[in-house]
Protein backbone atom coordinates (compact mmCIF):
# COMPACT_ATOMS: atom_id res chain seq x y z
CA UNK A 1 0.00 0.00 0.00
CA UNK A 2 1.45 3.33 -1.06
CA UNK A 3 1.86 5.83 1.75
CA UNK A 4 0.59 9.36 1.34
CA UNK A 5 3.07 12.08 2.18
CA UNK A 6 1.58 15.39 3.23
CA UNK A 7 3.56 18.60 3.15
CA UNK A 8 3.49 20.43 6.45
CA UNK A 9 2.84 24.14 6.53
CA UNK A 10 5.85 26.32 7.40
CA UNK A 11 5.87 27.72 10.94
CA UNK A 12 4.70 31.27 11.45
CA UNK A 13 7.65 33.58 11.99
CA UNK A 14 5.62 36.71 12.79
CA UNK A 15 1.97 36.95 13.78
CA UNK A 16 -0.10 40.04 14.48
CA UNK A 17 -3.65 39.70 15.80
CA UNK A 18 -6.19 42.50 16.21
CA UNK A 19 -3.71 45.37 16.24
CA UNK A 20 -5.25 48.76 17.01
CA UNK A 21 -3.46 52.10 17.16
CA UNK A 22 -5.07 55.46 17.84
CA UNK A 23 -3.60 58.94 17.84
CA UNK A 24 -6.10 60.92 19.85
CA UNK A 25 -9.38 60.57 17.99
CA UNK A 26 -7.70 59.29 14.82
CA UNK A 27 -7.76 55.54 14.24
CA UNK A 28 -4.46 54.69 12.54
CA UNK A 29 -4.90 50.89 12.62
CA UNK A 30 -8.07 48.96 13.38
CA UNK A 31 -8.20 45.19 14.00
CA UNK A 32 -5.19 44.48 11.75
CA UNK A 33 -4.06 40.85 11.63
CA UNK A 34 -1.42 39.21 9.45
CA UNK A 35 1.05 36.35 9.38
CA UNK A 36 4.56 36.02 7.95
CA UNK A 37 5.43 32.32 7.47
CA UNK A 38 9.03 31.14 7.66
CA UNK A 39 10.79 31.29 4.31
CA UNK A 40 8.33 33.72 2.74
CA UNK A 41 8.23 37.31 1.53
CA UNK A 42 5.16 39.20 2.75
CA UNK A 43 4.39 42.73 1.64
CA UNK A 44 2.20 45.45 3.10
CA UNK A 45 0.89 47.97 0.61
CA UNK A 46 -1.76 50.65 0.45
CA UNK A 47 -2.36 54.26 -0.58
CA UNK A 48 -0.68 57.14 1.22
CA UNK A 49 -1.98 57.42 4.77
CA UNK A 50 -3.24 53.83 4.83
CA UNK A 51 -1.34 52.91 8.01
CA UNK A 52 1.67 51.07 6.54
CA UNK A 53 4.33 52.99 8.45
CA UNK A 54 2.37 52.76 11.70
CA UNK A 55 2.10 48.99 11.29
CA UNK A 56 5.83 48.72 10.65
CA UNK A 57 6.51 50.80 13.76
CA UNK A 58 4.36 48.42 15.81
CA UNK A 59 6.41 45.44 14.64
CA UNK A 60 9.67 47.28 15.42
CA UNK A 61 8.50 48.45 18.83
CA UNK A 62 8.47 52.17 18.05
CA UNK A 63 4.69 52.28 18.50
CA UNK A 64 2.82 50.49 21.27
CA UNK A 65 -0.62 49.31 20.08
CA UNK A 66 -3.71 50.12 22.10
CA UNK A 67 -5.00 46.59 21.52
CA UNK A 68 -3.87 43.36 19.90
CA UNK A 69 -1.01 40.90 20.24
CA UNK A 70 2.25 40.19 18.44
CA UNK A 71 4.41 37.06 18.48
CA UNK A 72 7.74 35.92 17.03
CA UNK A 73 8.13 32.19 16.38
CA UNK A 74 5.05 31.44 18.47
CA UNK A 75 6.21 33.44 21.51
CA UNK A 76 4.18 36.51 22.52
CA UNK A 77 6.37 39.58 22.70
CA UNK A 78 6.18 43.29 23.34
CA UNK A 79 8.82 44.43 20.84
CA UNK A 80 11.26 47.24 21.52
CA UNK A 81 13.89 48.56 19.10
CA UNK A 82 16.81 47.55 21.34
CA UNK A 83 15.46 43.99 21.69
CA UNK A 84 14.82 43.19 18.02
CA UNK A 85 18.13 41.39 17.51
CA UNK A 86 17.34 39.17 20.49
CA UNK A 87 14.32 37.92 18.56
CA UNK A 88 16.33 37.40 15.36
CA UNK A 89 14.93 40.52 13.70
CA UNK A 90 16.83 43.10 11.60
CA UNK A 91 15.50 46.08 9.69
CA UNK A 92 16.43 48.70 7.17
CA UNK A 93 15.35 52.32 7.45
CA UNK A 94 13.62 54.62 4.98
CA UNK A 95 16.73 56.75 5.35
CA UNK A 96 19.99 54.92 4.81
CA UNK A 97 21.30 55.36 8.36
CA UNK A 98 24.91 54.72 7.32
CA UNK A 99 27.86 56.04 9.30
CA UNK A 100 29.43 58.72 7.11
CA UNK A 101 32.87 58.47 8.71
CA UNK A 102 33.20 54.69 8.29
CA UNK A 103 34.03 52.86 5.10
CA UNK A 104 31.45 50.68 3.40
CA UNK A 105 33.19 47.58 4.76
CA UNK A 106 33.19 49.00 8.28
CA UNK A 107 29.51 49.96 8.03
CA UNK A 108 28.49 46.45 7.09
CA UNK A 109 30.81 44.84 9.66
CA UNK A 110 29.21 47.04 12.34
CA UNK A 111 25.94 45.20 11.73
CA UNK A 112 27.65 41.87 12.39
CA UNK A 113 28.57 42.94 15.92
CA UNK A 114 24.89 42.71 16.83
CA UNK A 115 24.88 38.95 16.30
CA UNK A 116 28.08 38.10 18.14
CA UNK A 117 28.15 37.21 21.83
CA UNK A 118 31.73 38.28 22.56
CA UNK A 119 31.78 40.71 25.49
CA UNK A 120 32.04 44.33 24.48
CA UNK A 121 35.02 44.93 26.76
CA UNK A 122 36.97 42.10 25.09
CA UNK A 123 36.51 43.71 21.69
CA UNK A 124 37.16 47.20 23.04
CA UNK A 125 40.48 46.21 24.64
CA UNK A 126 41.63 44.35 21.53
CA UNK A 127 41.96 41.00 23.32
CA UNK A 128 42.43 37.90 21.13
CA UNK A 129 38.79 36.79 21.04
CA UNK A 130 37.75 40.35 20.24
CA UNK A 131 40.26 40.53 17.39
CA UNK A 132 38.98 37.22 16.00
CA UNK A 133 35.41 38.54 16.17
CA UNK A 134 36.37 41.68 14.29
CA UNK A 135 38.21 39.72 11.61
CA UNK A 136 35.25 37.38 11.18
CA UNK A 137 32.89 40.36 10.87
CA UNK A 138 35.07 42.02 8.23
CA UNK A 139 35.39 38.76 6.28
CA UNK A 140 31.62 38.25 6.37
CA UNK A 141 31.07 41.86 5.31
CA UNK A 142 33.47 41.51 2.37
CA UNK A 143 31.68 38.33 1.25
CA UNK A 144 28.30 40.07 1.33
CA UNK A 145 29.58 43.07 -0.58
CA UNK A 146 30.94 40.79 -3.31
CA UNK A 147 27.65 38.89 -3.39
CA UNK A 148 25.77 42.16 -3.86
CA UNK A 149 28.16 43.20 -6.63
CA UNK A 150 29.56 46.19 -4.73
CA UNK A 151 32.85 44.81 -3.46
CA UNK A 152 34.76 47.54 -5.33
CA UNK A 153 33.21 50.10 -2.97
CA UNK A 154 34.48 48.42 0.23
CA UNK A 155 36.88 51.24 1.10
CA UNK A 156 34.60 54.09 -0.01
CA UNK A 157 32.80 56.41 2.38
CA UNK A 158 28.98 56.58 2.21
CA UNK A 159 28.75 60.26 1.12
CA UNK A 160 30.64 59.35 -2.09
CA UNK A 161 28.38 56.42 -3.01
CA UNK A 162 25.77 56.34 -5.76
CA UNK A 163 22.38 56.13 -4.06
CA UNK A 164 21.59 52.65 -5.39
CA UNK A 165 24.90 51.36 -4.00
CA UNK A 166 24.22 52.96 -0.62
CA UNK A 167 20.87 51.15 -0.56
CA UNK A 168 22.65 47.83 -1.05
CA UNK A 169 25.11 48.68 1.71
CA UNK A 170 22.22 49.33 4.10
CA UNK A 171 20.63 46.02 3.11
CA UNK A 172 23.94 44.16 3.58
CA UNK A 173 24.37 45.70 7.04
CA UNK A 174 20.95 44.42 8.09
CA UNK A 175 21.52 40.99 6.57
CA UNK A 176 24.94 40.34 8.09
CA UNK A 177 23.46 39.74 11.55
CA UNK A 178 21.83 36.63 10.00
CA UNK A 179 18.26 37.53 11.01
CA UNK A 180 15.40 35.08 10.80
CA UNK A 181 13.07 38.00 10.02
CA UNK A 182 14.22 40.92 7.87
CA UNK A 183 12.06 44.05 7.84
CA UNK A 184 12.43 46.30 4.79
CA UNK A 185 11.01 49.80 5.09
CA UNK A 186 10.31 51.17 1.58
CA UNK A 187 13.49 49.75 0.05
CA UNK A 188 12.68 51.09 -3.44
CA UNK A 189 12.45 54.73 -2.36
CA UNK A 190 14.60 56.97 -4.56
CA UNK A 191 15.59 54.25 -7.02
CA UNK A 192 15.02 54.26 -10.77
CA UNK A 193 13.32 51.41 -12.62
CA UNK A 194 16.54 49.52 -13.45
CA UNK A 195 17.72 49.70 -9.83
CA UNK A 196 14.30 48.58 -8.57
CA UNK A 197 14.40 45.56 -10.84
CA UNK A 198 17.83 44.63 -9.49
CA UNK A 199 16.61 45.17 -5.93
CA UNK A 200 13.69 42.85 -6.62
CA UNK A 201 16.10 40.11 -7.67
CA UNK A 202 18.02 40.55 -4.41
CA UNK A 203 14.88 40.43 -2.27
CA UNK A 204 13.57 37.28 -3.96
CA UNK A 205 16.84 35.52 -3.11
CA UNK A 206 16.87 36.47 0.57
CA UNK A 207 14.67 33.64 1.97
CA UNK A 208 16.84 31.02 0.26
CA UNK A 209 19.99 32.13 2.07
CA UNK A 210 21.21 29.85 4.86
CA UNK A 211 18.69 27.16 5.75
CA UNK A 212 15.95 28.67 3.59
CA UNK A 213 13.73 29.70 6.51
CA UNK A 214 14.46 33.43 6.58
CA UNK A 215 11.33 35.56 6.29
CA UNK A 216 11.04 39.03 4.78
CA UNK A 217 8.37 41.61 5.49
CA UNK A 218 8.40 44.78 3.45
CA UNK A 219 6.35 47.94 3.51
CA UNK A 220 6.48 49.53 0.09
CA UNK A 221 4.83 52.19 -2.08
CA UNK A 222 6.09 50.73 -5.35
CA UNK A 223 3.31 48.43 -6.52
CA UNK A 224 5.36 46.76 -9.26
CA UNK A 225 8.11 45.76 -6.81
CA UNK A 226 5.77 44.39 -4.19
CA UNK A 227 3.83 42.40 -6.79
CA UNK A 228 7.01 40.89 -8.23
CA UNK A 229 8.73 39.78 -5.02
CA UNK A 230 6.00 38.81 -2.54
CA UNK A 231 4.43 35.43 -1.85
CA UNK A 232 1.60 37.10 0.07
CA UNK A 233 0.38 40.69 0.23
CA UNK A 234 -1.72 42.54 2.80
CA UNK A 235 -3.44 45.74 1.63
CA UNK A 236 -4.36 48.50 4.05
CA UNK A 237 -6.69 51.43 3.52
CA UNK A 238 -7.67 53.90 6.24
CA UNK A 239 -6.02 51.63 8.82
CA UNK A 240 -7.99 48.50 7.94
CA UNK A 241 -7.08 45.34 6.02
CA UNK A 242 -9.16 45.46 2.84
CA UNK A 243 -7.50 42.53 1.05
CA UNK A 244 -4.96 39.78 1.60
CA UNK A 245 -3.71 37.10 -0.76
CA UNK A 246 -1.28 36.22 -3.50
CA UNK A 247 -0.19 38.90 -6.00
CA UNK A 248 -2.65 37.53 -8.58
CA UNK A 249 -5.49 37.68 -6.06
CA UNK A 250 -4.59 41.23 -5.08
CA UNK A 251 -4.44 42.37 -8.71
CA UNK A 252 -7.95 41.03 -9.28
CA UNK A 253 -9.48 42.45 -6.09
CA UNK A 254 -11.92 45.31 -6.83
CA UNK A 255 -11.46 46.81 -3.35
CA UNK A 256 -7.75 47.25 -4.04
CA UNK A 257 -8.44 48.90 -7.37
CA UNK A 258 -10.95 51.23 -5.72
CA UNK A 259 -8.48 52.18 -2.98
CA UNK A 260 -5.78 53.11 -5.47
CA UNK A 261 -7.99 54.72 -8.10
CA UNK A 262 -10.31 56.57 -5.76
CA UNK A 263 -8.39 59.83 -5.91
CA UNK A 264 -5.34 58.53 -4.05
CA UNK A 265 -1.73 58.42 -5.18
CA UNK A 266 -0.45 54.88 -5.52
CA UNK A 267 3.17 55.90 -5.97
114-145 in b/e burial notation, b at 16+ Cβ within 10 A? Answer: bebebeeeebeeeeeebeebbeebbebbbebb
> Is residue 156 within 8 Å of residue 103, measured between CB atoms?
yes
* pLDDT score for 132: 73
Tell me the average pLDDT of the chain: 86
Give the confidence band of 9 by pLDDT, cuts at 50, 70, 90. Answer: confident
CB-based contacts of 181, cutoff 8 Å, min separation 6: 13, 14, 36, 72, 87, 88, 89, 90, 214, 215, 216, 217
Scanning 44-127, the segments in alpha helix (DSSP H) are 52-60, 104-112, 120-124
In tens, the pLDDT along 161-181 reads 999 999 999 999 999 988 999
Give pTM, 2 decimals.
0.85
pLDDT cut 70: percent of the chain above it: 87
* pLDDT score for 2: 53
Residue range 8-88+179-267 forms a domain whose CATH class is: alpha beta
What is the distance between the alpha carbons of residues 89 and 138, in angstroms, rounded to a whole number? 21
What is the distance between the alpha carbons of residues 145 and 108, in angstroms, rounded to a whole number? 8
Phi, psi dihedral angles at 228 (to 5 degrees)? -85, -20
CB-based contacts of 74, cutoff 8 Å, min separation 6: 11, 12, 15
* pLDDT score for 112: 77
Phi, psi dihedral angles at 76 (to 5 degrees)? -60, 135
Is the pLDDT at 84 greater than 90? The verdict is: no
Structural domain spans, the chain? 8-88+179-267, 98-176
Is the pLDDT at 20 greater than 70? The verdict is: yes
Rounded to a whole number of angstroms, the CA Rg of the chain reads 20
* pLDDT score for 19: 97
- Which one is predicted more confidently, 9 or 56? 56
Amino acid sequence: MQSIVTRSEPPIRLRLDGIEVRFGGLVALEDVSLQVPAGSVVGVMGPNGAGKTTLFNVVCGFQRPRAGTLSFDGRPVRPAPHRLVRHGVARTLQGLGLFGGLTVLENVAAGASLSHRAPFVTSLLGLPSGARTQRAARDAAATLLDEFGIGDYAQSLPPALPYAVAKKVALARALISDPTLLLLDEPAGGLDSADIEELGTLIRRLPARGDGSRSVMLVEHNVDLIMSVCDHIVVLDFGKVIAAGTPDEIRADPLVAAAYLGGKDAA
